[in-house]
Structure 1
Amino acid sequence: MRLHLSDSHDSADTHEPLGPDDPLAPLPFNPYKGNRGVTRAWHALKNSLNGFRVAIREESAFRQELTLAAILVPCGVFVPVDAVSHVLLLGSVMLVLIVELLNSSVEAAIDRISLERHELSKRAKDLGSAAVMVALFFCVMTWVLIVGPLVVRWVGNWIRP
């Protein structure tokens, strides 16, 4: 049997309306999505600053990493290396903060769904934690490879008269 174009058109007209759990259902109205230009940027800035406030107030890991960043960023600016090394040093610290914020957002979304223990919730949280660990390892590796030789040379010059 051959399907005619008119047959497929008839079946498309008779589909069931999309339910709220259907991934193709339209999203609820968001008053900020229609904003453009400066208005959109202003709302995004306010939301971002609110996110920082929440992370600083509620997330102890973010506070610890922010404290580490407050120490490493000035060091990364003033250490005598080339521009690319400065970018790598500072970027590795910023990457840790970015990944921690994303991990915290995943944890908040999982907790919003349910606080009961579930294997998929645990997996999502563990994967986020692993991402933070990889970012921290990358940061440590970057600092050791770039700043380590400078420190060894400085200490060697300081010990030898």
Structure 2
Amino acid sequence: MNSDLNGNKRKKGIGFKYAFMGLRRVWTSEKNFRIHIFISGLVVFFGILLNLSMSEWLWTGVCIGLVLILETLNSAIEAIVDYLFPHYHDVAAKAKDISAAAVLLSALFAVFVGLFIFVPKIINLF
């Protein structure tokens, strides 16, 4: 058995329950996560319409996953920093800004890959 920070005993095992609770929390508390999910849905919809190849789906899925994972980690970092620093602190601001930058970089990468995949397909429609 493991114990938490308070010394309470917990069963070992896969924490799917807690992972799904985390997904629910990020969904209900983070507007940007919901925006990324909506955009991901649009990308999947247009990917189906444009008949993406297997490798194009792979790249699309990697990009969607990367953005959602980093948005989730950013939310966790922000929650921890807000707890540790309830008032403004330069270190807290730096940590939050850098974690937000990671999300931005992943989103820009996803846009680049999306343009590379989707623009030629859209041009071929005309």
- TM-score band w.r.t. shorter chain: 0.7 to 0.9
Report deviation, 1:78. 5.1
* 2:2 is aligned with 1:31: no
For structure 2, the residue ranges without an aligned partner over 5 or more in a row are: none
Q: Does structure 2 retain, via aligned residues, the 8 Å contact 1:96–1:132?
A: yes
* RMSD (Å), alpha carbons: 1.7
Give distance in 2, aligned partners of 1:66 and 1:31: 36
Higher relative contact order (Cα pairs below 8 Å, separated by 6+ residues): 2
1:57 aligns with 28
Structure 1 residue ranges without an equivalent (≥5)? 1-26, 157-161
Q: Given the alignment, which residue of 71, 84, 92 partners 1:100? A: 71
**What is the one-letter code of the residue matched to 1:31?**
K
- Structure label with greater radius of gyration: 1
TM-score, with length taken from structure 2: 0.87
- For 1:147 and 1:78, the matched residues in 2 are separated by 11
Deviation at 1:151, TM superposition (A): 0.3
Structure 2 CA distance for aligned equivalents of residues 66 and 99 of structure 1: 13
Summarize the Cα distance change of 1:46–1:55 in structure 2 as closer, same or farther, 3 Å threshold. Answer: same
Normalising by structure 1, we get a TM-score of 0.70
Compared CA separation, residues 90 and 75, structure 1 to 2 (3 A): farther
Alignment of 1:2-81 (within 5 A): 28=5, 29=7, 31-32=9-10, 35=12, 40-41=13-14, 44-77=15-48, 79-81=50-52
| 1:82 maps to 2:60 | no
User: Do 1:73 and 1:93's aligned partners in 2 also have CA atoms closer than 8 Å?
Assistant: no
**Percent of aligned pairs sharing the same letter:** 25
Cα shift at 1:82: 2.6
* Counterpart position of 2:107: 136
